[in-house]
Amino acid sequence: MIVITPPERQLVEDVAGDIIDVASSCICKVHLRMPGASEADFRKVLDSLEPAYHQHVVLCDHYALLAEYDVAGVYLPYRRVAEWRNIPLAPHQTIAVGAHSIQELQELPFTPHYALLSPLFDSISKEGYQGNPALLSCREALIKLPYPVYALGGITPEKQEAVAKAGYAGVAVLGDIWSQPWKQLPERLAQYQLPAILTVAGHDPTSGAGISVDTRIANDLSVQCYSVISTLTAQSLHRFVSTTATPSDQLQASLTTLLTDHPVTVAKLGMVQDLQQAVHIVAQMKALGVKRIIWDPILQPTATEVTQPNLWTEEQDKLATLLNEVSLVTPNKPEAQALFGTDDPAELQRIAQKHDVAILLKGGHDTTSPHLVVNQLITSDGIHPYYTHRYDKSIHGTGCMLSAAIASYWAMEYSLVSSVQRACHYLATIFAGQPNLPERQLLCPKIFRGSRKKQHLYFDFDLQYVTNESDPDRLYNKVSQYLEAGGRWVQLRLKEATTEERIEMGLRLRRLTDCYDACLLIDDDIIATIAVDADGVHLGKRDCPPQEARRILGDEYIIGYTVNSLDDLPRALAANIDYIGVGPYRDTQTKALLAPILGLEGISQIAQQVKETNRQFIVPQIVAIGGIRPEDAETLFSNKDIDGIAVSGAIEHATDMGHTVSQLLRDTSSFPN
């Protein structure tokens, strides 16, 4: 479902409120459309939103703002499609177009991620703008297009069935939503259908994989999941015995009936009897309008140690046919060897280019790093790595979970790159909360949704200890003394160390901080942050851009960002960060002075501007940094806009660290914010 902002809104604040109301109530993209508005007006809307909402926003004008805001993508009306080459689109962003005829869509100079076709019915928002009944009779043409098309114009919940039977992927809504009283908006949005996927997969009697877990994952992400059984398996958690394929006529009848009445954009193909069955299923799904097919090649079920034969050499013709038709293949390393004869990313990219298919090489079987899982999305244009923490837990059906999550996000009209990234984050969140018990099914994912990491933002935030010790044992002892004295925020700063050295030290500190339920951040190293399973990362202006860090880490991690002047604020506020380190307060002995001294006045000025930001909901917390001494705490905390302080040298070089930390904690606790 696509929602378009109402053109009659006059106030920027009203438009921002509309976006929040819609994005909070349903799974959809919001097209930010303000006819005649300036770039400054668009910027005001985006600035007034909490950056987490930017992922829902599609820009309908002023595309240069892509360089400043991490929005979902852009929309081009048909009169502007020639501009597509000049739009600085990142791999994780989408481009959509609008048209008024099938011919316009057929003649596009590029393939968009999705399109809007209008008007199907008489407009609700534009009086006298009549619908085009011919657009309800173009199912065959819509099926042949390589991208999904959403119906626009006079859409109401009651018209969804007619739109679906006409072959549209879904609806784009304008007048019906905004003509409702504000209090009835959530109820009206709920009458529109959720995004939907189809899974064609095996039935696992243990319910740990196959259609059972696909449905659970999709539903957990608020996506409707239709299912067709491809195979029945005889298996338990201990052993895999056999499979029995669903008869082809039964499969065909199920798919035809389902997809004729309930079209989907994205389908996932799981366990099949053989490649011939897979080829038939994919061909039928394509003929019935499915645009994006994910093939999760189950070549070695978890309960068996036998991998299917080398399909690359034995069934090349069938495999090539399949690769030419699917959009994404998700093998692990043994499956990649069986399918392609290699698990080398460069070789796999050549295969991806030849067949115009994406390959997600899953890294769970690669034990090169004991603390990281690296999944690699290999496309014709590049190789995109995704890093997640390696949890020492055995959960049946993880491959099914991942591909079902990718399908769900893809059905929400995220790009493939973004869908894979979000799915990896989602699974990492599930694994983090699962008990490590053998032969245990995946428990309800929603039980574990709360972020343990983000909870640290609301407790003991006043004092952050930034380490400056390079000797591992001395560093460990100093952090131990800090925690023993009552400190609960530690930032591991090892500027001259390698990532491997930060991981080694971080793992020691992670075990230590866990004993105190304390927060551990790592300075300027996202990979180490993930490997250690730290609570977050602190970034300087010369480090990884905060928007990129959020994409890599996901929403569960804390991100802090350094600001040295008012000029740095726009970048910080446009990013989805949790706190801003403002400084330096005075000259510091622990790092080279790279920015002018701000003092109390400069820090207060920046802090006040952040707190007064015209933004819906929350703003980042403020941490004063740089050369802070124990005697400064009272002065700094007398400013109500400062939420915490970060201290390094005063703790590192204290003759009695415990006493110094206790004094700082007493002074900070005297000024509750």
Give me the pLDDT at residue 449, please.
46
In a domain, 441, yes or no: no
Contact 554, 427 (CB under 8 A): no
What is the Cα–Cα distance from 467 to 309, expressed in whole angstroms? Answer: 54
Residues 6+ away with beta carbon under 8 Å from 580 = 560, 561, 562, 563, 572, 606, 610, 620, 621, 622, 623
332: three-class secondary structure by DSSP = strand
Q: Put residue 149 in one of left, alpha, beta given phi > 0 → left and psi -120 to 50 → alpha.
A: beta
385 and 465 part of one domain: no
237 and 349 part of one domain: yes
Name which of 369, 310, 314, 303 is nearest 335 in CA terms: 310
- pLDDT mean by block of 10 residues, the chain; 673 residues: 85 80 84 93 90 94 96 98 95 97 97 98 90 96 98 97 96 92 88 96 82 93 95 80 88 96 96 90 97 88 51 78 98 92 96 98 86 96 94 75 97 97 91 64 52 82 94 97 97 95 97 96 97 96 91 94 94 92 86 79 94 73 94 90 94 94 86 58
155 and 246 part of one domain: no
In degrees to the nearest 10, what's the CA dihedral of 331, 447, 418, 16?
170
Give me the pLDDT at residue 365, please.
80
Domain harbouring 586, CATH code: 3.20.20.70
What is the Cα–Cα distance from 295 to 318, expressed in whole angstroms? Answer: 14
User: Residue 144 belongs to what H/E stretch?
Assistant: helix 139-144
Number of H helices, E strands in the chain: 25, 25
641 and 657 part of one domain: yes
Contact 15, 51 (CB under 8 A): no
345 and 477 part of one domain: no
Name which of 519, 459, 486, 453 is nearest 673 in CA terms: 459
Give me the pLDDT at residue 358, please.
99
Quote the number of domains for the chain.
3
What is the Cα–Cα distance from 295 to 359, expressed in whole angstroms? Answer: 10
27 and 166 part of one domain: yes
Q: Is the bond preceding residue 148 a cis peptide, omega within 30 degrees?
A: no
Which range marks the domain in which residue 289 is found?
196-433
For helices 398-411 and 416-433, what crossing angle results, to 10°? 140
Considering Cα of 192, then 194, then 200, then 204, what sign does the dihedral take?
negative
Contact 521, 528 (CB under 8 A): no
- Binding-site annotation, residues: 491-495, 523-524, 543, 562, 588-591, 627
145 and 210 part of one domain: no
What is the Cα–Cα distance from 499 to 524, expressed in whole angstroms? Answer: 10
Give me the pLDDT at residue 314, please.
67
- Binding-site annotation, residues for Mg(2+): 524, 543
